[in-house]
Structure formats: structure tokens, C-alpha cells
Structure 1
Amino acid sequence: MKQALGLIEISGLSTAVVAADTMAKAANIRILEIENTKGLGYMTIKIAGDVGAVNAAVNAGKQIGAANNKLVSWKVIPRPSDYVEQAFCCPEPPVPPSPPMKEAQEETGTGKTGETMRESPETAGEPEPDGGQADSVREETDSKDEPQAEAEQPSEEEDFKLAEKPKKVSRRTSAAKGTGTARSKNS
């Protein structure tokens, strides 16, 4: 059994949302889309469902639009042709684009950095049944990297010196500039 198609055109987004809400509550229908038409702020509400349900929903939407003086037009198509039904009732969801192949190859392993685990000659060909050997290798590489990290960090005294900002030079007042308005003290 084909589903009926209902269309209501209303001026203004807020009225269209209220009308769509009322239509969905009034009958067992599916709201397909609320489309912003070009020009004059018209919104088209597209619904689908059984013929009786679509008629009831369109009448409810008409009442909301007429009450707000925003109703432009309406139409119920009880048995739309196959082409119209495919265009409105059952739109196919868009297929997400697949990522380019170059980026996918870089993520899988061609762009590895020096932070990856290095194998020593003793553990190069041995399997790791419980992962214990890999932990010891990681600990060794971490302990080798720590002295370098400490040497790169400045000491607390150097941090204090870097944190100090030079003081701003204060501006001179008009009397200090020598504008000719020197004040003399009467004692």
C-alpha cells in the first residue's frame, strides 16, 4: 500500500515548527522534512503516512497556520506516482565519503616517529608471551631518556630570572617635560 504525501507551506520558521509538532501529535505520520524555500521566508513541511492520517495532520497544520495568519498553501497527494514517492517519501541517506588512500596509509604505519618502542638485539626475535619483556625494554628506554629531559629543563633559579619582567618606564608629567609651566614653592 502506498503512503500518502502531505505538504504545507507556512511563512516563518517558528510557525512551521509549531505546525509540524501539531501535525505529528494529531496523527500517526512521519515528518520527512521541513524545507526552507527560497524567498519570502516560506517553510514547506513534508509528511507521509496513511491517507486518513495525512489528511488529519494537514488539517491540524492548516489550523495552526491560519490562526497565526501564516498559512500559504497545502496539498495532500493520496497515491503519489512512483517517481514522486521516491523523491519525497523514501530519500536515500547520503553515503559518507571515504578517506583518501594516502592519509589511510600514513596512519597505518608509514609515518612512524622515533617515539615507538625500539627492540634491543637480545629481544629482537623472541616472542612476548606475557608482555614482561616489552615492559623491561620500555623501562630501559625510559631510564635512558630521563637524564636528557632533566638536562633540558632549566633550574628553578633560571626560571625565576626568566619570569621577571623589566619595569616599565614611567611617563613624565607636563611639568617635568619643561613646557614652561614650572611651579615654584612659596615657603
Structure 2
Amino acid sequence: MANAVGMVEVLGLPPALAAADAMCKAANVTLVGMEKVSGARYTVIVRGDISEATVAVEAGVEAAKSILGDKQLYLSSHVIARLSENLESVLKSMRPNARLASYLDPVPSDRPPLVS
């Protein structure tokens, strides 16, 4: 059950991609998305168990800090242990789109498996 949300905010697309990659590789989390907040600010959002989201955020922070630039590209990070259902319904990025939902739903028993 994905009951935690982890977020890393960075300045620029390269550190956002580096953070997203590191977060997905470091822990068993699902990448919810990367939101362009304003200007060059991006927030990378993942979901997973609390411990996995925490590990993912730590890895994302380290990856963002490792990108060299004129200024610090890592801005902030946070893990929310149990996101309120109210908040999930309001935030567009927390709702899986139809394409993603088809991957998350279990395969119906009347459908043949993809790999035999």
C-alpha cells in the first residue's frame, strides 16, 4: 500500500531528472510525477511505504546536491506519512491518469497473460 508521499524540490530540469532517477532506483516507490512549480522550480513526487519514501527522498536529495551549478540546485524535501484522502482528491498530480491506472489495476482473469 502506497501510504506515504515523498517530495524533492529542485531548481532546474537536470537535477529534477537526477533526483527522480535516484529516487526510483534507491527504493520501491512509484514516481507520481514531476511538477513544474514556477520558473525553473520542479518538484519530484513519489509514493510508497513510509520507509521506502524516506529512503527515496534521501537519495533524491543527494542526487540533486551532486549536480554542479552556479548556485545550490536543491531547494527542499519532505515526506508525508499518510496523505489525507481530501488532499489526494484535490491535487491533480496525486490522481493517476487513465493510462497509468491501467498498469496499476490487476489483470482480469478472463484476459490472457502478456507473457506465456
Is the structural similarity TM-score above 0.5? yes
* Deviation for aligned residue 1:91: 3.2
| Bigger Rg, structure 1 or 2 | 1
| Structure-to-structure mapping, 1:1-187, within 5 angstroms | 3-39=3-39, 41-68=40-67, 69-86=72-89, 87=91, 88-93=93-98
Question: Deviations for 1:87-128, whole angstroms, at most 9, x for unmatched residues?
Answer: 34333438xxxxxxxxxxxxxxxxxxxxxxxxxxxxxxxxxx
Q: Structure 2: which 5+ residue stretches go unaligned?
A: 100-116
Distance 1:53 1:2, change over 3 A: closer
TM-score (ref. length: structure 1): 0.46
In the aligned structure 2, how far is the partner of 1:63 from the partner of 1:42? 17
Higher strand share: 2
Superposed CA deviations along residues 38-93 of structure 1, whole A, max 9, x for unmatched, are: 12x01110110110000000000111122333110111000111122333433343
User: Separation in 1 of the partners of 2:30 and 2:38?
Assistant: 24
Number of corresponding residues: 93
Q: Give the gaps of 5 or more residues in structure 1.
A: 95-187
Shift of 1:12: 0.9
TM-score under structure 2 length normalisation: 0.72
1:124-156: CA deviations, max 9, x gaps? xxxxxxxxxxxxxxxxxxxxxxxxxxxxxxxxx
Identity of aligned residues (%): 33
Contact 1:4 1:78 in 2 (8 A): yes
CA RMSD of aligned residues (A): 1.8
